[in-house]
């Protein structure tokens, strides 16, 4: 029987022992950046608006500066865009993941052949 083996990796940031920022929030920031609205970003991720909004609110509250600017007006609170901090956090996380994944990729075959 053919089994499928995969070497997996996850990286995230805890604040005071609680998960604060990881792949899910990075993806949400990415979609907000692309779509310019929380509701469209939520839709793109198959997530409720309420859940996406509360993730944004948590990042804006706990980050040392807000990550997302919310524009008032229109249905569901108008548009949204990443702040400079939000952009830098997203970019840093994406670059770190690329670097970590490249280490994993280099080792993957040799390791999985042992397993």
> Which residues lie near a copy of itself (CB under 8 A)?
3-17, 20-21, 62-64, 85, 88-89, 92-93, 96, 99-100, 103-104, 107, 110-112, 114-115
Q: What is the largest CA-CA distance in the chain?
A: 58
Q: How far is the CB of 6 from a copy of itself (least distance, A)?
A: 5
Contact, 32 vs 43, CB < 8 A?
no
Q: How far is the CB of 76 from a copy of itself (least distance, A)?
A: 27
- φ and ψ at residue 81, rounded to 5 degrees: -145, 155
Q: How far is the CB of 71 from a copy of itself (least distance, A)?
A: 24
State how far the Cα of 37 lies from the Cα of 58, in Å rounded to an integer: 17
């Amino acid at each position: 029987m053919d089994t499928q083996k995969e070497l997996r990796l996850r990286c995230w940031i805890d604040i005071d022992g609680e998960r604060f920022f990881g792949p899910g929030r990075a993806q949400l920031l990415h979609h907000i950046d692309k779509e310019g609205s929380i509701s469209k970003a939520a839709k793109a991720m198959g997530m409720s608006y309420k859940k996406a909004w509360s993730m944004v609110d948590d990042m804006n509250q706990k980050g040392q500066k807000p990550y997302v600017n919310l524009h008032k007006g229109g249905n569901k609170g108008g548009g949204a865009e990443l702040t400079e901090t939000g952009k830098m956090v997203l970019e840093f996380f994406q670059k770190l993941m690329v670097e970590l994944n490249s280490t994993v990729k280099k080792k993957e075959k040799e390791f999985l052949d042992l397993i």
